[in-house]
Amino acid sequence: GDSVTQTEGQVALSEEDFLTIHCNYSASGYPALFWYVQYPGEGPQFLFRASRDKEKGSSRGFEATYDKGTTSFHLRKASVQESDSAVYYCALGTQGKLIFGQGTKLSIKP
Amino acid sequence: GALVYQYPRRTICKSGTSMRMECQAVGFQATSVAWYRQSPQKTFELIALSTVNSAIKYEQNFTQEKFPISHPNLSFSSMTVLNAYLEDRGLYLCGARASQNTLYFGAGTRLSVL
C-alpha cells in the first residue's frame, strides 16, 4: 500500500542553521504531497503542497520539490529560527485522505 | 482563510461511557471530513472518511458501531466514541477537505479515560 517515510525522528539545530528533513514516499501515479507542522497542543497546520513532478511548494521560508524520480519531497529551510521548533509531518494524499509520515521533531537552540 | 473548530478541546470520561465530539468548518465548504486519532507517540490513525450524501468509509480496526459519525452538511460533522476504554485515549482530529484536496485540521479533542 501507499506509504510515507521520514528518515529523521529528531533534528536539533542552532538558529540560522540550514534545515533538511527527508521524506520519501511509495505510491502509484502522481499523488499529491504535503508538509504539515504541529505545535504543542494544536492540530497539524498545512504548510504547502505539490502535485506534479518538479513542482516546488513553499511557505514561511520552507520549501520542498516534488521529485518523482527519487520519490522524495524533502523539506528545506535556509535559516531556522527558534519559533520553528515543532513536529513536521510529510503526507501523501490519496482518495480524499492523507497518509502521514512518522514525524520529525525539530528543536532549535537559541 | 480556512478554519476548523473542534470541541470540546479536552474531555474526560469514565471507562465504559461515551462521549461526542464536534467539528465545524468556517470560511469554506468541506466536501469531506477525515477523522483521525493521534496516539501519544504522535502517529496518526485514520478512523473514517465521511463525504456528505455518501456512505461513510471506516478504516480497518474502526467500526460504525464504535465510532458513529454524523455529517449532515458541508460545515459540520460529529463523531461519538461509544463505550470508551483506555485504548481509546488520544487526540481526535478532524480534517476538513477544502480546495485542491487539502485537509485543514482543527486543534483536536483530547480524550482521557478513567
Q: What is the pLDDT of residues A82-104, one digit of tens each?
A: 999 999 999 999 888 899 999 99
Q: Is A98 on the interface with B (CB under 8 A)?
A: yes
B55 pLDDT band, cuts 50/70/90, is confident
Tell me if A98 and B95 make a contact (CB, 8 A cut-off).
yes
Q: What type of residue sits at position B45?
A: E
Say if residue B46 is exposed, middle or buried (CB neighbours under 10 Å; 0-12, 13-18, 19+): buried
Q: pLDDT tier at B67 (50, 70, 90 boundaries)?
A: very high
Residue B110 DSSP SS3: strand
Q: Does the pLDDT value for residue B2 go beyond 80?
A: no
Cβ separation of A43 and B49 shorter than 8 Å? no
Which residue of chain B has the CA closest to A50? B100
If you average pLDDT over residues A20-49, what whole number do you get? Answer: 95
Q: Which three cell numbers stand for residue A40?
A: 504543542
Q: Is A97 an interface residue toward B (CB < 8 Å)?
A: yes
Measured between CB atoms, which of A41, A44, A95 is closest to B105? A44
In angstroms, the Cα distances linking B105 to A33, A37, B25, B97 are: 16, 11, 9, 9
**A15 touches A81 (CB < 8 A):** yes
